[in-house]
Structure 1
Amino acid sequence: MLKTRFLLGLFLIVGAFASCKKDSYNAEEQAKKDDVLIADFIAKNSIVAVKHSSGLYYQTLTPAANGENNFSGSTNVTVTYEGKLLDGTSFDKGTNVSFPLGNLIQGWQIGIPLVKRGGRIRLFVPSTLAYGNSSPGAGIPENAVLDFTIDLISAQ
């Protein structure tokens, strides 16, 4: 009986500490930190980028001459892309891969419709529009700002 009470008490204490860590995350504060990181990065690298109302920064590298921007969450996009951290570490690449736009991180859902088919865009995605305070796996730490270069091949 005493052992059961001790274990129950231990689980309650561990649970309380675990929930404190999650509760301490403040998306608004993190967005401000990310904004400073991105603004500093683009200034240091002389990048001309536009800040979207969402907090995403983007640079149109190659505007497409023609194309439509009729995107929805069910739109399948085919892209070639590379994802990097701001320190230049590449964490992912894809060539001629297709995804439903609605299944992608918010930064891509916002950024891809900003370029037309055949165009190339660079997205600086704050962590709050990517994976937040969790790590999706090796190569991307929690609260990471992501830098993507994306060629939009098609959208249907």
Structure 2
Amino acid sequence: MKKISLSIIGALAMVACQNGESDTATITLNNNIDSVSYAVGVNTANGLQQQFSEGNMDAFMQGFKDVVDSAELLVSTEDAQAVLQGYSQKKQMEQMAERQKQMEEMFASVKEEGIKFLEENKTKAGVQVTASGLQYIVLKEGKGKQPTAMSNVKVHYHGTTPDGVVFDSSVDRGEPIEFPLNGVIAGWTEGVQLMKEGAKYKFFIPQELAYGANAPQGGQGPIKPFMPLVFEVELIKVND
């Protein structure tokens, strides 16, 4: 839901009849300003109906009239902003929850296969599991600096889906990449902090620590929603 802004309501109030209540049934549009004023009202009402269909129109009109008449407001302008922001955030959370539910229904098989993959993988030789569920194998230990979550790191990596489809690889491109460790998926942020410069690890990242429902390209590429990811990572350099 788009945020309902007081500026929209304020604009509607400004173009309304300024001498008491207006009777839209008797309004005549005599000039361009009249037409624009009416158009703003129509546009705002349409927007409110689409974005705020559950709204109490009596309360809306009372608030509108109080502004036009410069009457004492039942809710101050500052408090009104907070009310609108809180409502907008609530609706956004509801929409996100609904989208999560829809995605889980659509990609239930991917999620189930991912859980099975990780359950089987953690029993293999050399696989270690952190408290968050991140799985990893130490391919080579390093002896250099160890990063923190706030570090910039330079790495080589090779990323695949659980069934081995390559979706991204600095190794294949022949060029390492540098980035802030707190600007990537949670599995990377946690996993690379386990390493020291010169180390090479293989990570098996649960979907909760990867992209979850928000797969890149809307799930149209190799990475599907709720899919765990596999990365081989070589930590080349830590830059604090």
The residue type equivalent to 1:141 in the other structure is K
The residue type equivalent to 2:158 in the other structure is E
TM-score (norm 2): 0.51
Counting matched residue pairs gives 140
Work out which of the residue numbers 101, 111, 128 in structure 1 matches 2:191: 111
Distance 1:31 1:90 in 2: 19
**Higher helix content, 1 or 2:** 2
The answer as to whether partners of 2:153 and 2:237 remain within 8 angstroms in 1 is yes
Where do 5+ consecutive residues of structure 1 fail to align? none
CA RMSD of aligned residues (A): 3.1
Distance 1:101 1:32 in 2: 29
> How far off is 1:39 after superposition?
2.5
Where do 5+ consecutive residues of structure 2 fail to align? 1-45, 55-93, 105-109
Paired residue secondary structure (1:114): coil
After the TM superposition, list the runs of 4 or more consecutive aligned residues in structure 1 that deviate by more than 2 angstroms.
16-25, 30-37
Identity %: 27
Work out which of the residue numbers 112, 131, 154 in structure 1 matches 2:211: 131
Structure 2 counterpart of 1:152: 235
Structural mapping, 1:3-152, within 5 Å:
20-23=98-101, 34-41=114-121, 43=123, 46-64=124-142, 66-73=143-150, 75-94=151-170, 95-137=175-217, 138-152=221-235
Distance of aligned partners of 1:78 and 1:40 in 2 relative to their CA distance in 1, 3 Å threshold? same
Distance 2:182 2:129 in 1: 22
**Higher strand content, 1 or 2:** 1
The answer as to whether partners of 1:35 and 1:55 remain within 8 angstroms in 2 is no
Q: Which has the larger radius of gyration?
A: 2
> How far off is 1:117 after superposition?
0.2
1:101-149 superposed Cα distances (whole Å, 9 cap, x missing partner) = 0101000000001111001001100010010112112221100100000
